[in-house]
């Protein structure tokens, strides 16, 4: 009888102490704005991961897109509420350092994704390498045009880390192809309409354009529209791997798009945050390999974000 009781007690204890059903943690996820599909993908990924792992996610997005003071305020407000963990995309990787320090001071663990924050203590960083994505995508295009010709760069928003790195990647790729001439580098501010109008204007100055390196997909599509409108053709690449881009790659209009995948980062950010809370081992850093989506491999990217599965952490950890 005593033995049975002990056994029962032991079983009961194991069940109670078992970590496999640790749930209900609240993770606060911070993204930059409501309109960029990239961040929508991050949010979808974060929710998918949380669902898999039995946790809850609350989204914090500035009402004014990319507003530094607002994100600062949101962090200050959230620290009062004390979520279990925070997954953080800083609006600006330098200006939001005090916010991270505040979160640290409040004892809430922070996982940083997308833009690497310039300070503060982090559980981990998950990111893609904008520089390498820019580099690889540009190389893809430059090879495709045979290593010679005239090329334009459509820049994103001046001052953002993604833009600085991607454009740097473009420029470094150009250095590898000395027979390619860079005609101009003008800002489209990551906006489709603006890129379209800028492209139209540039097409007036330059009769021969063989390639366009656009720092994101909406601008790439804007450039394509401008080219179409004038019945001209050029090889165009974008970055984002958005649904629209994949469709255009499939139909052959867009040459390629660098995969800057918010979905995976959202997944991994939440997963790492939860593993950290549940005292499971976590990597310090996950840098996703740069992938260029082109006619050769677009099928994998055709599923809409909402239907994708979160990848396993083990597959992607680089250290």
Partner 1 sequence: MTKPCAVATPSLLARVPGVAIVLAILFVVLGLTSPSFATPANVANILVQSTILLLLALPMTLIIMTEGLDLSMGAVLTFASIALAITVLATGSVSLALLAALVVGSGFGLLNGWLVAALDIPPFIATLGTLGIAQGLSLVATDGQSVVGIPRSIQVVYSGSMLGIPIPIVIGAVAFALLCLLLYRTRFGTYVFALGGNREALRLAGVPVRRMLIAVYALGGAMAGFAALLMTGRMSAAHPTAGLGLEFDAIAAVAVGGTSFERGDGWLIGTLLGVVTVGVLRNGLNLLALPSSVQVACIGALVIFALFVDGLRSRA
Partner 2 sequence: MSTAAHGMPARLTPSRDTLQALYRLLAAGLLCVVLSFLSDAFLTPGNIINVLRQTALLFMMASGLTLVILTAGLDLSIGANIGLSACLAASVIKATGSPWLGVATGIGCGTLVGLLNGALVTTLRIPSFIATYGMMWMLTGITYYYMGGETIHGFPASFRQFGSGYFLGVPIPVYMMLLFLLIGSAFAQRTIWGQEIYAIGANPVAAQLSGVPVARRLVLVYVVSGAMAGLASLIILARINSAQGDIGEELTLPAIAAVLIGGTSLFGGSGSLSGTLIGALILTLVLNGMNLLQINAAWQPLITGTIVLLAVWIDARARRASE
Write out the residues near partner 2 by the rule CB under 8 A: 33-37, 39-40, 43, 63, 65, 155, 158, 184-187, 191-194, 196-198, 200-205, 218, 221-222, 225, 228-230, 242-244, 247
**Residue pointed to by tokens 């580098």:** 185
Give kind and range of the element (H or E) at residue 187: strand 180-187
CB 68 within 8 A of CB 37: no
Taking the least distance from each CB to partner 1, the nearer of 154 and 313 is: 154
Sorted by sequence, the CB contacts under 8 Å of residue 17 that are 6+ apart come out as: none
Nearer to partner 1, 95 or 144 (CB): 95
Task: List the one residue out of 82, 85, 19, 23 whose CA is nearest residue 51.
Answer: 23
Is position 306 an interface residue for partner 1 (rule: CB under 8 A)? no
Query: For residues 91-130, which are near partner 1 according to CB under 8 A?
Result: 92-98, 118
By a kind-dependent CB cut-off of 5 to 8 A, residue 4 interacts, out of partner 2, partner 1, none, with: none
Alpha carbon of 33 to those of 66, 122, 200, 214, 226: distances in Å?
Answer: 6, 22, 28, 21, 27
75's tokens: 């962090």
Residue from 77, 208, 228, 306 binding partner 1 (CB under 8 A): 77
Which one of partner 1, partner 2, none is in contact with 277 (Cβ closer than 5 to 8 A by kind)? none
The piece of 159-167, 194-202, 250-258, 284-292 that touches partner 1 (CB under 8 A) is 159-167
Closer of 94 and 284 to partner 1 (Cβ): 94
SS3 91: coil
For partner 1, the closer of residues 75 and 180 by Cβ is 75
Question: Residue 233: which of partner 2, partner 1, none does it interact with, CB under 5 to 8 A by kind?
Answer: none
- Residue 156 sits at the vertex; the CA angle it makes with 179 and 59, to the nearest 5 degrees, is 140
Residue 297 binds: one of partner 1, partner 2, none (C-beta under 5 to 8 A by kind): none
SS3 26: strand
Q: Please give the Cα distance from 280 to 204 (Å, whole number).
A: 59
Contacted entry of partner 1, partner 2, none for residue 109, CB cut-off 5 to 8 Å set by kind: none
x/- contact string, 35-74, with partner 1 (CB under 8 A)? -----------------------xxxxxxx-xxxxx-xxx
Rounded CA separation 36/157 (Å): 13
CB of 102 to partner 1, least distance (A): 9
**Site membership for partner 1, residue 29 (CB under 8 A):** no
- CA pair distance 144, 149, nearest whole angstrom: 11
The first and second tokens of residue 78, run together, are 């959230």
Using DSSP, state whether 222 is helix, strand or coil: helix
Among partner 2, partner 1, none, partner that 225 touches (CB below 5 to 8 angstroms by kind): partner 2
Specify whether the CB–CB gap between 181 and 149 falls below 8 A. Answer: yes
* Whole-Å CA distances, 85 to 241, 260, 276: 29, 25, 9
Per DSSP, helices labelled H in 176-216 are 192-205
Alpha-carbon Rg for the chain in angstroms: 23
Q: Is 316 in the site for partner 1 (CB under 8 A)?
A: no
72 binds, among partner 1, partner 2, none (CB under 5 to 8 A by kind): partner 1
Contact of residue 98 among partner 1, partner 2, none (CB under 5-8 Å per partner type)? partner 1
Kindly state the smallest distance separating residue 190's Cβ from partner 2, in Å.
Answer: 10
Q: What does the binding site for partner 1 look like in residue numbers (CB under 8 A)?
A: 34, 58-64, 66-70, 72-74, 76-78, 80-81, 92-98, 118, 158-160, 164
């Amino acid at each position: 009888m005593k033995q049975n009781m002990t056994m029962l007690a032991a079983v009961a204890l194991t069940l109670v102490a078992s970590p496999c059903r640790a749930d209900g943690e609240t993770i606060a996820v911070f993204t930059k704005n409501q309109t960029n599909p990239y961040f929508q993908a991050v949010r979808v990924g974060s929710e998918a991961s949380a669902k898999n792992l039995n946790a809850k996610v609350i989204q914090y997005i500035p009402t004014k897109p990319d507003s530094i003071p607002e994100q600062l305020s949101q962090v200050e407000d959230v620290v009062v509420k004390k979520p279990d963990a925070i997954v953080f995309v800083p609006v600006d990787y330098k200006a939001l350092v005090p916010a991270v320090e505040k979160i640290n001071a409040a004892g809430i663990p922070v996982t940083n994704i997308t833009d690497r924050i310039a300070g503060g203590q982090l559980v981990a960083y998950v990111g893609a390498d904008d520089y390498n994505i820019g580099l690889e995508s540009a190389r893809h295009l430059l090879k495709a045009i045979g290593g010679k010709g005239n090329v334009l760069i459509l820049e994103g928003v001046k001052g953002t880390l993604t833009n600085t790195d991607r454009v740097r990647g473009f420029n470094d790729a150009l250095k590898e192809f000395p027979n390619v001439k860079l005609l101009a580098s003008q800002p489209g501010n990551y906006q489709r309409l603006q890129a379209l109008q800028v492209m139209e204007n540039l097409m007036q100055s330059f009769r021969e354009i063989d390639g366009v390196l656009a720092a994101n997909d909406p601008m790439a599509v804007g450039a394509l529209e401008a080219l179409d409108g004038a019945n001209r053709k050029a090889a165009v690449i974008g970055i984002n791997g958005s649904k629209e881009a994949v469709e255009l790659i499939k139909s052959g209009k867009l040459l390629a798009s660098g995969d800057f995948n918010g979905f995976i980062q959202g997944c991994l950010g939440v997963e790492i945050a939860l593993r950290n809370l549940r005292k499971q081992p976590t990597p310090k850093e996950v840098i996703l390999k740069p992938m260029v989506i082109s006619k050769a491999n677009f099928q994998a990217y055709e599923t809409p974000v909402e239907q994708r599965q979160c990848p396993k952490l083990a597959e992607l950890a680089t250290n």
